[in-house]
Amino acid sequence: MDEQNKTPREFDVDAVLASLNQPATPAPSQPEPVPVRPVPQKPQKRKKKKGCSGFMVFVCLCLCAAVAVAGGVLFALCDLSGMGKELLSSADDTVQIQVAEGASVRQIAEDLEEEGILLSRHLFLAYLKLTGKGNNINYGYHDFTPDMGYGAILESLAQPVKAEDVTVTVPSGKTVEQILHLLEEAGVCSYASLRHEVMNGEFDSPLWQAIPDDDAMYYAMEGYLFPDTYHFYPNDDPHRVIQVMLDNLEEKFTPALREVAKQKGYTTHQIMTMASVIELEACGYYDQMPKVSAVFYNRLKQWPAGARLLQSDPTMYYPYGDGAYNTYKIEGLPPGPMSNVTAKAIEAAVYPDETETAFYFVTDKNGGFYFNQTLSAHEATISDLKNKGLWLTTPYFE
């Protein structure tokens, strides 16, 4: 169609105005936003300043260790060689040390260290073990100076020394107290040091180890210090002195005798106790000891129970124990020996005279022995001896 022939489009002004006057449609409502709690930020560690303190601590420790090792090496070299040793030693001058016969290398090392001749006994013993030295040691008195190295010390120990000794005879029938005083008077050891060993020492001895733990005994070692002639050193080691006497007893109271005693139902301590009774009652007459032994065994075995009293006079006069040894009041054997005993007394205690049936005996001034089976016959013998002036009063424990 031709544009000139088009009809113009009518515009409705009123409709447009009406639409403009209507209220606008509200937009759909949105939910109110929920407040969000802020997340706390993790505090950042404050970075330490890098420095050299850790390295310095390590260096200091290394230096301390090095100084300690160097000091230990110098200490060992001083002890080994003797160079500068006198500056570290507690000894001021020449020291004389007694090496007891049979002393161990360890004991010698302890003595040398105590006197300041060794700085360390452990180093010395290690040196001996590594080198195999120390086997050529002579007992006696040796002189040492604080500047001696190990070689000089061993050379001194190897020197032949004529040791001054003390000869002392310990009689039979003596108590521990009497023996200890005797050894002190001879210059062997002090009474106090010996008594300490008797009361507190521990010894390598089966007989000593078999002594029962009985509070009734005044001295547990009473009777075990064997009577003999001994050679000790002046101011000897008290432990060694007691050990030597115990060793002597071990040789006399042989394993064979102990086995026989065991088969008869007796302990070694019971045999030693009976032997002390025999020793004191027989007054040194060895040939009569088996008969004397039989008398006391007859009383213990054949007298009625409750009245098996040994009735041995020495037990009344034993000066210790507050009457616990008095066999006129207690039945059976006393708690332990009352004196040391000879080998003959021990043998008699193990082997009494089986042919002797007496229950009583008495001796006279001339060494005569009279055995009786009844108390009346025994009392008649005593009366006869008194009338003849032969009655013997024995001074026990003097």
The b-or-e profile of 190-227 (16+ CB within 10 A means b, else e) is eeebbbebbeeeebebebbeebeeeeebbbbbbbbbbb
What are 238's two structure tokens? Answer: 């008290």
pLDDT at 102: 73
Q: What is the DSSP letter of 77?
A: H
pLDDT of 100 reads 76
Q: Indicate the SS3 state at residue 360.
A: strand
pLDDT on residue 45: 47
pLDDT computed for residue 16 by the predictor: 47
| Other beta carbons less than 10 A from residue 65's beta carbon | 10
Q: What is the CATH number of domain 68-158?
A: 3.30.1490.480
Domain boundaries, the chain: 68-158, 169-387
Confidence (pLDDT) at 383:
94
pLDDT tens across the length of the chain (398 residues): 444 444 444 545 455 445 555 555 555 555 555 555 555 554 554 544 555 566 677 667 777 766 666 666 776 777 787 676 667 667 667 887 878 777 888 999 999 998 888 888 998 899 988 888 877 888 777 888 888 888 888 988 888 765 578 999 999 999 999 999 999 999 999 999 999 999 999 998 999 999 999 989 999 999 999 999 999 988 888 998 999 999 999 999 999 999 999 999 999 999 999 999 999 999 889 999 999 999 999 999 988 877 889 999 999 999 998 889 999 999 999 999 999 999 999 999 999 999 999 999 999 989 999 999 999 999 999 999 999 998 888 778 87
